[in-house]
């Protein structure tokens, strides 16, 4: 068992954070080659400031195929291991009390993959949803699908909608899953809905950022504080384009199936080293609350 953080704000926090389990050690990537790189997992967790954790973590899970080909396995094996990594990361975020996690599970562009791979990804999604459905209820987590859900195969679509409906009343924690998602399409859909509301007389201009955001698929969520992308690719690939305007970006060489608890802790420690200025001057941030 490992403990997270230098302080404890309540006995409840302590109990939950102590529940994080130690997993096997991972290869240290160039991105995490810093003063934390040599630390054991429980020591990494102890370095975290529990009061400065990101509230919303978004993840681009990339590198399943390369993980498989490095092992001379079919791509499918990489996706299956990727699902295991996903479950571990969601588990860790829960115990760290990170309330909002958004994952890029299937992009609009992924439809151009071979049909056999699409079918496997859909069946893994179905497996994930069947397995996690109970967990969502036990942990009082909302499951929020974003993207063109109506383009998913019928059985997956029905399951996605049923779980979203059954968990919609949970407000403290949300797992958002981007499915058949594209950031540009999200913005365009918002624009078109807004135009319709203007034409119907329900909305009049000028339109503020806050008003516009209420038309996005993520309307209920604050913007991500941290976006993680695995596998060494340094781009955002049409994910949450509007929402990541001030998000801290973290790129690691680690392939998604290897991105486990230790890698997440390194990403969180890296995040905690950063100063978020939101376009202001450094000293203005500290003065902000007094002005």
Give the catalytic positions in this structure.
62, 110
Residues in 37-66 at the binding interface with ligand FPP, rule: CB under 6 A: 61-66
Return the number of the residue (47 or 237) whose C-beta is nearest ligand FPP.
Answer: 237
Return the number of the residue (106 or 215) whose C-beta is nearest ligand FPP.
Answer: 106
Whole-angstrom Cα Rg for the chain = 20
**Residue 193: its H or E element:** helix 183-199
Tell me the residue number closest to ligand FPP, measured at CB.
65
The only residue of 31, 48, 76, 79 in contact with ligand FPP, by rule CB under 6 A: 79
Query: Least distance in Å: CB of 236 to ligand FPP?
Result: 14
CA distances, 191 to each of 98, 134, 145, 197, 213 (Å): 31, 36, 20, 10, 10
Should residue 152 be labelled a site residue for ligand FPP when binding is judged by CB under 6 A?
Answer: no
CA distances, 161 to each of 45, 93, 136, 145 (Å): 36, 24, 14, 8
Should residue 121 be labelled a site residue for ligand FPP when binding is judged by CB under 6 A?
Answer: yes
Q: Would you give the binding string for ligand FPP spanning residues 252-281, x where CB under 6 A is met?
A: ----x-------------------------
The only residue of 83, 159, 178, 227 in contact with ligand FPP, by rule CB under 6 A: 83
**CA distance linking residue 244 with residue 239, whole number of Å:** 9
Should residue 91 be labelled a site residue for ligand FPP when binding is judged by CB under 6 A?
Answer: no
Proportion of the chain in helix, strand, coil states, percent, rounded to 5: 50, 10, 40
What DSSP assignment string belongs to 254-273? S-GGG--HHHHHHHHHHHHH
Return the number of the residue (66 or 193) whose C-beta is nearest ligand FPP.
Answer: 66
- Please give the residue ranges that form the binding site for ligand FPP (CB under 6 A): 61-66, 79, 82-83, 86, 105, 110, 121, 124-125, 128, 231, 256
């Amino acid at each position: 068992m490992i403990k997270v953080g230098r302080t404890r704000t309540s006995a409840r926090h302590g109990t939950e954070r102590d529940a994080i389990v130690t997993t096997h050690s991972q290869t240290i990537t160039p991105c995490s080659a810093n003063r934390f790189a040599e630390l054991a997992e429980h020591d990494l967790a102890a370095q975290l400031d529990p009061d400065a954790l990101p509230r919303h973590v978004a993840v681009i899970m990339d590198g399943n195929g390369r993980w498989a080909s490095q092992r001379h396995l079919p791509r499918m094996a990489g996706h299956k291991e990727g699902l295991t990594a996903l479950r571990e990361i969601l588990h860790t975020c829960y115990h760290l009390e990170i309330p909002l996690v958004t994952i890029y599970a299937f992009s609009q562009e992924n439809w151009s993959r071979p049909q056999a791979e699409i079918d496997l990804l859909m069946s893994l999604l179905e497996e994930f949803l069947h397995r996690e459905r109970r967990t969502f209820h036990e942990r009082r987590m909302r499951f929020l699908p974003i993207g063109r859900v109506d383009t998913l195969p019928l059985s997956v679509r029905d399951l996605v909608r049923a779980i979203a409906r059954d968990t919609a009343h949970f407000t403290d924690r949300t797992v958002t899953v981007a499915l058949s998602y594209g950031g540009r399409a999200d913005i365009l859909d918002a624009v078109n809905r807004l135009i319709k509301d203007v034409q119907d007389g329900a909305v009049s201009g000028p339109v503020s950022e806050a008003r516009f955001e209420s038309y996005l698929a993520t309307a209920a969520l604050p913007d991500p504080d941290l976006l993680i992308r695995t596998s060494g690719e340094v781009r955002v690939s049409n994910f949450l384009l509007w929402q990541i305007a001030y998000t801290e970006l973290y790129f690691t060489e680690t392939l998604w199936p290897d991105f486990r608890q230790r890698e997440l802790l390194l990403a969180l420690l890296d995040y905690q080293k950063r100063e978020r200025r939101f376009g202001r001057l450094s000293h203005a941030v500290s003065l902000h609350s007094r002005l």
